[in-house]
């Protein structure tokens, strides 16, 4: 479904990620793990059209989307939930969700599925997004992305700014979406959370893919255990 080939990207001519290769198959849940500053956000921004890659290619369902603008990529069905969420703060929860369906008409069935998944959003429907807590904003960001019935959901650090219990709840919600057949790619530095949810993963270090494998393989890898799982 998604194929990234030798992608390099960065800011002002200095590459932060170097020749990254990875793939996400239809129906999979894939994680990209790495510590703060490893280049996860830069990689996702370059992939989703918010940053023009310096070299390499990105294919989404066979279409070359390398360097395409974010708005076009979003319309193809690849929805990105950024760590900063980028909600519309002076609009209500309801309006944010309606906008998520763009460019299509909001589907009431999808809307009620999302409100079932995140009952908090139903309670706060008339509240402005900017006045909600971090956890609620994260739910809204995911809900907004789901309104368009995306083919692939890409999340950058969904646990950012969330208390441990809320972060866990966020991943449980993602797990529920997985069961409905959604393809998900997630970047996460809280590795145990991502491990519990993904089937496969890649380890990004200093902008390079260092390791890859199934979640079990990575969890058993001594380097991963030491660096990311806190096992000595």
- Minimal distance in Å, beta carbon 94 to another protein? 11
Cite the DSSP H helix spans in 76-204.
93-100, 108-117, 119-123, 134-146, 164-179, 191-197
Q: Select the span of 1-9, 23-31, 93-101, 119-127 touching another protein (CB under 8 A).
A: 93-101
Nearer to another protein, 50 or 211 (CB): 50
**x/- track of binding to another protein for residues 42-81 (CB under 8 A):** ------xxx------------------xxxx-xx---xx-
Taking each continuous run of H as one helix and of E as one strand, the counts in the chain are 10, 10
Nearer to another protein, 86 or 125 (CB): 86
User: Binding to another protein by residue 225, rule CB under 8 A?
Assistant: no
Please tell me the number of Cα atoms within 13 Å of 37 on its side-chain side.
0
Take residue 197 and report the two structure tokens written for it. 């949810």
Distances (CA, A) of 133 to 6, 10, 33, 212, 231: 38, 31, 26, 35, 33
**x/- track of binding to another protein for residues 6-45 (CB under 8 A):** ----------------------------------------
User: Binding to another protein by residue 211, rule CB under 8 A?
Assistant: no
Say which residues have a Cβ less than 8 Å from residue 197's Cβ, sequence separation at least 6.
29, 31, 171, 174, 175, 178, 186
User: Binding to another protein by residue 103, rule CB under 8 A?
Assistant: yes
Which residues sit at the interface with another protein, rule CB under 8 A? 48-50, 69-72, 74-75, 79-80, 82, 85-91, 95, 98-100, 102-103, 105, 130, 144-145, 148
């Amino acid at each position: 479904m998604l194929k990234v080939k030798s992608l390099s990207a960065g800011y002002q001519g200095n590459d932060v990620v170097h020749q990254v290769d990875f793939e996400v198959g239809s129906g999979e849940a894939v994680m990209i793990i790495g510590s703060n500053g490893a280049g996860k956000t830069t990689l996702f921004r370059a992939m989703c059209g918010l940053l023009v890659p310096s070299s390499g290619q990105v294919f989404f369902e066979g279409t070359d989307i390398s360097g395409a603008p974010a708005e076009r990529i979003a319309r193809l069905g690849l929805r990105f939930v950024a760590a900063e969420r980028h909600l519309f703060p002076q609009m209500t929860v309801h309006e944010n969700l309606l906008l998520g369906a763009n460019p299509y008409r909001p589907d009431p069935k999808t809307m009620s599925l999302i409100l079932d998944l995140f009952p908090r959003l139903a309670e706060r429907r008339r509240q402005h997004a900017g006045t909600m807590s971090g956890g609620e904003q994260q739910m809204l960001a995911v809900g907004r992305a789901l309104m368009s019935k995306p083919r692939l959901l890409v999340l950058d650090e969904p646990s950012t700014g969330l208390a441990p219990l809320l972060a866990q709840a966020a991943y449980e919600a993602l797990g529920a979406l997985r069961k409905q057949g959604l393809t998900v790619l997630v970047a996460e530095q809280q590795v145990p959370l991502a491990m519990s949810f993904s089937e496969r993963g890649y380890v990004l270090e200093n902008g390079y893919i260092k390791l890859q494998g199934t979640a079990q393989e990575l969890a058993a890898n001594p380097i991963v255990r030491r660096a990311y799982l806190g096992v000595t």
